[in-house]
Structure 1
């Protein structure tokens, strides 16, 4: 299989592993009213407003770009998906979601190492490296927790790793068609080994993030159960029955780790933030409402 065909298959299966199976888990409303989700006031008062932050911050051996707008707690932190090609967007993939939230929430977006406005670093990176970088970045910028992590695609796997490493910092998560810890298991069962992620593949990708190692790291925390609200927003897909069964089983196992855990399917593609920003903002507010009830 050619590298291009392999990349296309990996992308498709990533969306497959992330997208289906959520149908049976949770309703759209889950008994949460609009008043609980959005509260009585949509904007903080002038005295409690926080300044806009946009700068590069030291995380040790390099600096990362961070932008924070709005006011309110908990702070929402957006984690973008993997960046394979030079010039591909990082934090910009959040689209209009931050502007829909920052009237009532503190919202932060950032670029990981080797992405966008952040510094380039040599060598191989993993999801755990990215989680440590984010923790250092938020500390360096003085952005205090708790956080609600909004992780898209591979950013969802990094969100899971962050929550495992710093559980007291995380109030909840919203995962947008997130890469699953069981990605490799499902892939190996259904597709030829040579067509999957390969060792050393990261060397040819802009971010230098070893996805194979990151999937394995995410698998190491698969058994951890956490009492935080998590919503998994899945892209609707039409799949062969054998694949759907495997994916649904994996999705149910994943969301069952969290209390409360919720899944919804939306009529949107894998990279959904530009398509349904209002719905994503609403799901973030629902997770915040659930976290505040705990």
Structure 2
């Protein structure tokens, strides 16, 4: 069946949402003492009434919303894809908490959800610094299972490189991986996303458009840098790939996406490749059962 104009716009939307996030790797400057004050409040409409609390963390002059469902000393951190805030995980959090007994944390990256907007271009080192500082201010320094969907895979790669001892494992859910961003692929992505970038500029205050605009500049150099990032061998990882991939409209790019996942898994020990049968790029919504299973398998047993 021929693809409609709406189908094509949807494909461009997904492309722009998952590829435009990173700049070159930089040193993470956040530490436990940076702006180490935060507020706590009950989270209205929380994922499970009475179990989730909103912590407003201050880091580098801006406030970030972290939602914590308290459990034991193991922590599951759920990081959403491009343009999505912490509410993306609202259906999975109570099940993860009930099944594992672990602490479950979701958060809003800068400019999304309840977190402050940070002017200027998106910088991955800032995103990594926000996450690291937030976790340290919450007292989380080890036994973390990082779950990263789509665009958040880039934050995961830099975070794991800089903080391997904090992580007990990661589940990368149809996530951006360094192996995908080759010199052949980057220009194709730039061309595919150009119409969406221009469309976003017509409504720049919309959160997902604001993120897209702020990260479009410098995309080529940023992803050439990301391509060189190596995942640490000490951190086991499960790589989940959707059956359709986020590039379902382009067989060439979809194949490269799958090949990149396979290459990532083969590049180091403790890595597993899982295909989410019947799923679009939106794996946590299409196959929540499989996502829950893989996260629960990765969570370190309580000591």
TM, length-normalised to structure 1: 0.72
Q: Which residue of 1 aligns with 2:89?
A: 94
Structure 1 residues 141-150 or 161-170, which shifts more?
Answer: 141-150
Unaligned runs of 5+ in 2: 1-6, 20-50
CA contact (8 A) 2:56 2:63 kept: yes
Secondary structure, in 3 states, of the residue corresponding to 1:259?
coil
Match of 1:220 among 220, 224, 228: 228
Q: Which residue of 2 aligns with 1:257?
A: 267
Q: Which residue of 2 aligns with 1:77?
A: 77
Give the Cα separation in 2 of the matches to 1:99 and 1:258.
Answer: 32
Unaligned runs of 5+ in 1: 17-50, 84-88
CA contact (8 A) 2:160 2:232 kept: no
CA contact (8 A) 2:18 2:81 kept: no
Deviation per CA, 1:140-170, whole angstroms, max 9, x where unpaired? 2223322110001001221111101111111
CA contact (8 A) 1:10 1:197 kept: no
1:229 matches 2:233: no
Q: Which residue of 1 aligns with 2:38?
A: none
1:129 matches 2:132: no
Cα displacement (A) at 1:258: 3.8
Secondary structure, in 3 states, of the residue corresponding to 2:134?
helix
CA RMSD of aligned residues (A): 3.4
Cα displacement (A) at 1:80: 0.8
Cα displacement (A) at 1:7: 7.7
Aligned residues: 249
Runs of 4+ in 1 over 4 A off after TM superposition: 4-7, 12-16, 200-204, 238-245
1:150 matches 2:147: yes
Mapping 1:2-21, distance limit 5 Å? 8-9=11-12, 11-12=14-15
**Distance of aligned partners of 1:278 and 1:73 in 2 relative to their CA distance in 1, 3 Å threshold:** farther
